[in-house]
Chain A
Amino acid sequence: MDNNEKPVIELKNISKEFKVLNRHEGLKGSIRDLFSRDYRTVKAVDDVSMTVNQGEIVGYLGPNGAGKSTTIKMMTGVLEPTSGQILVRGNVPYLHRSENAQNIGVVFGQRSQLWWALPLIESFRILKDIYGISDQAYKDIQDLYRSLVDIEDLLHKPVRQMSLGQRTLSDILAAFLHDPAIVFLDEPTIGLDVSMKAKIRELICELNNKRNTTVILTTHDMGDVDALCRRIVIIDRGKKLYDNDIEHLKGFFGSYRTLKVRMDGDLKKKALKVQNEFPSLSVTGDDEWISVLVDESRDRVVDVLEKLQQSHNIKDMQLEEISTEEVIKKIYEGAASPSSDSEGA
């Protein structure tokens, strides 16, 4: 990771607008739509700027429909931005699509670039020729793959007979095959079981390490983010909300912990009582637990627990760190309803 400061991706004030036909309901509406010129403009990406350096793993997060895929499609050269400037390794992607293709690898979680009917090794050979990979480089990367995952079984299996996990793994290997500077992973762990997820995270991490490949990762799985990304970018409704370290994200929201206690009786009623005892803290109750959100910069969890114990018979307790997921959820919610973001955080 010696050339860390060299930007490989530069986005400057990128926007992308789509024209969408205003559809009407019902049969009459559908017939009217046939002749309608009633378009509205949707801003999928709105004035986003960022710079990504060589070797970084960036988590690109946002709720569904936030504009993540649109941004990725612009970076890969599939879509042309409505305004703004993109440079990927000094190339304008949509103008030099083929040159850009040599520099990038792509995995879209639900689609495969592999040849469906053929064994994996054939797909690799085809990609070798398409990308003009030299024999030596091809051999090297195969050796690297062998050292990281057990690919011997996979190589001779037709892709259509693979499980989803094996196929995703193969797709990731295929994306890294021509040693691209940047790999885009769009929800690579979607629909996979826990052990496969772990395997894929480990693989991505190793490949990033060994080849200093920049990885742009979109996901809804916070496990992926925690395991892989040091930097995260959050986008919602096309606008960039956050772009910084993952540690900073937690710090940004204070050192919160959730104290969960269980006691006799109706917990929902008790929760109200506890709320009265601690007016400064946020208390919620469900069927199992009473949760008290404690800001450790103001109160100590131990004090709160002690005070609770004096007036209630506590049967069980748990202490939870606030997770990245919750933090991000708060950001999303804050973005969705800007008036309510003072609550809790």
Chain B
Amino acid sequence: MKKYLTLTRAGIIEALQFRLSFVVIVVGNLLYLTVIYFLWKAIYASAGADRVNGMTFTDTLIYLVLATALFNFMEMYTVWEIGRSIQSGKIVLDIIKPMPYRRYLFWSFTGSFVTQFFLTFLPTFIVVCILTHGTIRFGVNIPLFILSVTMGIIINYSIDFIVGTICLYTESIWGINIMKQVIVLLFSGAVIPVAFFPETFKKVTFCLPFRAIYDAPLSILLSQGTSYPDLLHMFFVQLIWCVVMTAVSVLFWNVSLRQITVNGG
């Protein structure tokens, strides 16, 4: 365990070296949230109803603000990282560390999970709590949310890792990564709440793993009248995805690694 935690520690120190980037992230988010605010205000105004798809304007806004915060903290740009080290050939050095590459890379990212959690997610969450005067309950949903986020991180990482592995074959990253990002953002409910999707689209979404990244933890956190069986069901589905995606990414990587050619040098 020590050899993994040391990577977390290194990640934290590394993240703290770049102070200015936090300012940029915070300012960028504020701008994005302003756009979201006015966009959805307009949507609700044109709908002429207090509730659209069972969600009030405040519900939607809380959902999207927290989704953005969650995205900032969970998105590790794994695909870029893998792609870049494939292209530069640095991946060779990472592969021959005395631990599996998939784990090595994951734990290298954990440091920035920790810093991003404290520097972006937590402040946003506190602000939302204060501004909405107790719309968010504090009960079982909090520990469940934490577990759910952890699984979300693992699922997200597995998906990224699978896409990163594809880069071993294509040796290019840009297009694949953009496609992945759009798909994940759309189907995970990070840009539009899943409740707003048309019925058939919703059905598709429920069959895909992406919803388990952002929508599941957020639904658990913001659950109001939702019954425990429902929460547990969502939780269980997430757990299954977590296991499946991890297994697929490990297998895919192991198979791919046997047929790669590492460039240069």
Chain A residues with a Cβ under 8 A of chain B: 18, 69, 73, 76-80, 94, 97-102, 104, 106, 108-113, 115, 117-118, 122, 125-126, 128-132, 158, 186
Contacts and interface: CB of A to CB of B under 8 A. Distances in A.
Given A69-B265, A130-B3, A130-B97, A117 B18 contact: yes
A151 B9 CA distance: 24
A130 B90 contact: no
A78 B96 contact: yes
B123 interface: no
B109 to A, nearest CB: 14
Contacts of B96: 76-78, 97, 100-101, 104, 106
A186 B95 CA distance: 16
For the complex of A and B, 10 pairs with smallest distance between CB atoms = A129-B6, A101-B98, A113-B93, A117-B17, A130-B3, A98-B98, A117-B14, A129-B3, A126-B10, A101-B96
Interface of B: 2-3, 5-7, 9-10, 13-14, 17-18, 88-90, 92-93, 95-100, 258, 260-262, 264-265
Contacts of A108: 89, 92-93, 265
Nearest to B101: A97
Contact of B89 (A97, A98, A111): A111
B219 to A, nearest CB: 37
Contacts, number: 83
B10 A122 contact: yes
Q: Per DSSP, are chain A's interface residues mostly helix, strand or loop, or mixed?
A: mixed
B6 A78 contact: no
B96 to A, nearest CB: 5
Contacts of A76: 92, 96
B107 to A, nearest CB: 10
B22 to A, nearest CB: 15
B81 to A, nearest CB: 13
Contact of B92 (A78, A115, A131): A78
Contacts of A113: 93
A128 B18 CA distance: 25
Given A117-B18, A118-B14, A130 B92 contact: no
Given A122-B10, A129-B2, A78 B98 contact: no
Nearest to A114: B93
Contact of B6 (A69, A77, A98, A125): A125
Nearest to A129: B6
Contact of A110 (B2, B98, B262, B265): B265
Given A106-B93, A117-B18, A79 B98 contact: no
A101 B265 contact: no
B6 A111 contact: no
B88 A78 contact: no
For B10, B18, B88, B258, which residue has the most chain A Cβ atoms within 10 angstroms?
B10
